[in-house]
Amino acid sequence: MQKRTIGKSGLEVSALGLGCMGMSYAYGTTPDKKKMIKLLQQAVERGVTLFDTAEAYGPFTNEELLGEALAPFHDKVMIATKFGFRNGVANSGLDSRPEHIKEVAEASLKRLKTDHIDLLYQHRVDPNVPIEDVAGAVRELIQSGKVKYFGLSEAGVESIRRAHAVQPVTALQSEYSLWWREPEQTVLPVVEELGIGFVPFSPLGRGFLTGKIDANTSFDSKDFRNSLPRFTADARQANQAVVDLLRKIASAKNATPAQIALSWLLAQKPWIVPIPGTTRLTRLEENLGAADIELTPADLREINEAAARIMVQGARYPEQLQRTIGR
């Protein structure tokens, strides 16, 4: 597996990480724990070194899963986790008070079975707590050796600059893919200026860009995609144009749509490290294969020109969730 350095931090990780949320949260029926432990360890065997979790995934059960699965590999892997919700529950409101951050860090350390957190993100910017106080709290955790690097998730330009002035931000995590390119106009120029790495989550459009989802697909009743405007049947039908584009390029490269979507992301900047999630070994291996696909300047031009003609339908989040983004 190729390696990349996240920004100017010196943090070197595999070119593709693994988003672990779906192993215990958000996509319906929870997969078998033993199978997920095996999958996590198979990811390590295949060279993955960046694993992404959060206290809110479960809550708590995803961190516990990674703690159990990755305990033998702490010298080989980097685990990123997140704080920022009241009681660790994603829909319970935000809480980034410094004392709460420190409480969450201690609890996460126990669940992850480690003496330090490699990368600690603020999950969402809390408008009730100055971002300088948040950065200061993480700085103290770094000084004490309990945290190595500081990250922000879904933060806006002003928050990034203010936090970075107090404690250098190593990584910004936000959604970015061929069907959500807003970061190109907002945060990407700023993180490049400041030497911050970028970690795209949902790089496969929550599964849509794999080509395995269409207007007739039905989701588990507990799958959170049921609540996303972009996943209504009409939106899925309209957005097939993006998948058709990926299929066309994939056919010429003897690849899959998912691999082209990930390869396109990797080609944008050398400090971008996508974290596609999966619960299947076949999909993991497919995703990792994207790192070996080379898109030429002509390929990238073709993709960008075709994508510019496609109007993606449906909002990314329901309105109440969208309000927490980009602060």
Q: What CATH number is given to the structural domain containing 283? A: 3.20.20.100
Q: Judge residue 309's burial from the number of C-beta atoms within 10 Å of its C-beta, 0-12 exposed, 13-18 middle, 19 or more buried.
A: exposed
- Domain boundaries, position 70: 3-322
What pLDDT is attached to residue 323?
82
What pLDDT is attached to residue 319?
85
Best CA proximity match to 186, nearest among 156, 216, 215, 221: 156
- Sign of the Cα pseudo-torsion (177, 180, 185, 190, in order): negative
pLDDT (tens digit, 9 = 90+) per residue, 90-134? 989 999 999 999 999 999 999 999 999 999 999 999 999 999 999
Best CA proximity match to 203, nearest among 294, 266, 280: 266
**276 occurs within a structural domain:** yes
Among 27, 57, 121, 176, the one annotated catalytic: 57
How many domains does one find in the chain?
A: 1
**201 occurs within a structural domain:** yes
* Measured distance CA(99)–CA(273) in Å, rounded: 31
Which residues in 17-56 are b (16+ Cβ under 10 Å) and which e? bbbbbbbbbbbeebbeeeebbebbeebbeeebbbbbbbbb
Q: For the whole model, what pTM was predicted?
A: 0.97
Question: In the numeric block, which tokens belong to residue 76?
Answer: 């080989």
pLDDT (tens digit, 9 = 90+) per residue, 7-25? 999 999 999 999 999 999 9
Q: Spell out, as residue ranges, where the chain has pLDDT lower than 50.
A: none
**132 occurs within a structural domain:** yes
The phi and psi torsions of 78 (rounded to 5 degrees) equal -115, 125
* Measured distance CA(99)–CA(104) in Å, rounded: 9
CB atoms within 10 A of CB 266: 22
* Measured distance CA(193)–CA(155) in Å, rounded: 16
Best CA proximity match to 146, nearest among 170, 115, 110: 115
**327 occurs within a structural domain:** no
Question: Is residue 176 annotated as part of the catalytic site, yes or no?
Answer: no
- Coil, helix or strand for 180? strand
What pLDDT is attached to residue 322?
83
**146 occurs within a structural domain:** yes
